Amino acid sequence: YLVMDYYVGGDLLTLLSKFGDCIPLEMARFYLAEMVMAIDSIHSMGYVHRDIKPDNILLDRCGHIRLGDFGSCLKLREDGTVCSTVAVGTPDYLSPEILRAVEDGLHSYGTECDWWSLGIFAYEMFFGHTPFFADSVVETYGKILHFKEHFRFPLSAPEFPAEAQALIEGLVCARETRLGRNGVQDFKEHPFFAGLDWQGLRDCSPSFVPEFANATDTCNFDVVDDCLTDMETLWDVIETSPLGVQLPFVGYSYTYTAVKQKDPQESDPGPIAMEVDPAGKRPPGGAQETPPGELACKLPDGPKPEQPLFLELQAALEAELKSRERLCQELSVVKVANQTFASQLKDAESRNVELEAQIKGLKEQIEGMKATSQQGKSSVPL
């Protein structure tokens, strides 16, 4: 992973932020169709992605998508499922079957979790937010586990197409009835994609084509801070990392912010130029070339850790990480259980208030009947 493709178009999360609450219907239709093809290609290779979200959907220089971040992928077993007790991925996009597997350690799940995430993203495309957003992760998990009670469309949604609503409802639902069980065919037959040329999808012109100055331009990404100091880029990482995690990389360090341009006027394409057209077309303004000697900086040679000591530290680190992982899993289970109990308690309190109101009303009716009866007796002549 030291050298990877760079896509100048940015990601879909940044694109969504540019459009505000929602993106145009045809644009959403195009991106969802390409995401269906991308997710299906992962599944056809025998893997489940488990982290489908707009941050991981990149745009190339032409505006077509590229699926990225395969760190959470798992190889499917022969029965088409995986078994994992770790809640990988981003909370808002996790499927209920992943959370149940974490909760009890017994459940397994398959590719259906990726289609759920696609449904969450489709919802976000049209309404500007995810359906189970909450102030805390635990509350979000609780809403996802009880999605039948919490999933709803905004009442103020303007002119929301029925086909789009049917698509989202077909994805954010029970795994037994979720779209994608039959692969990409479920989507090709869906009314939302009616008339779409699936075969020519990669050859069509996208509605949005990113603008960029050169092959390494970052204008389409949200850059928080591109002026980090050497101390921030190196020591902040070292201090926040577990003890021993950097041992395999002693003697090597590289930061892109350390790259210096000798001559700003030079316009020759650099060694990191990406997505260059094979026919010879290059994005306008080509990347500047930087001497290889300035791309990496070596830490001063120091005493190398002895092999036995290194192995001992590595074993201790692995044991500590496993212990921490178990504690996190137990804590997650307890939090979800507490959230479920709190939800049930709230429902019970609401029901109790309703019953008290009914009892009060019945008492008033009884008192009224008694008063009427007493008046009737007093009016009877002796």
Q: Which of 11, 40, 51, 92 is catalytic?
A: 51
In three state form, how does the secondary structure of the chain look? CCCCCCCCCCEHHHHHHHHCCCCCHHHHHHHHHHHHHHHHHHHHCCEECCCCCHHHEEECCCCCEEECCCCCCEECCCCCEECCCCCCCCHHHCCHHHHHHHHHCCCCEECHHHHHHHHHHHHHHHHCCCCCCCCCHHHHHHHHHCHHHHCCCCCCCCCCCHHHHHHHHHHCCCHHHCCCCCCCHHHHCCHHHCCCCCCCHHHCCCCCCCCCCCCCCCCCCCCCCCCCCHHHHHHHHHHHCCCCCCHHHCCCECCHHHCCCCCCCCCCCCCCCCCCCCCCCCCCCCCCCCCHHHCCECCCCCCCCCHHHHHHHHHHHHHHHHHHHHHHHHHHHHHHHHHHHHHHHHHHHHHHHHHHHHHHHHHHHHHHHHHHHHHHHHCCCC
Q: Would you call 51 a catalytic residue per the annotation?
A: yes
Q: What are the catalytic residues? A: 51
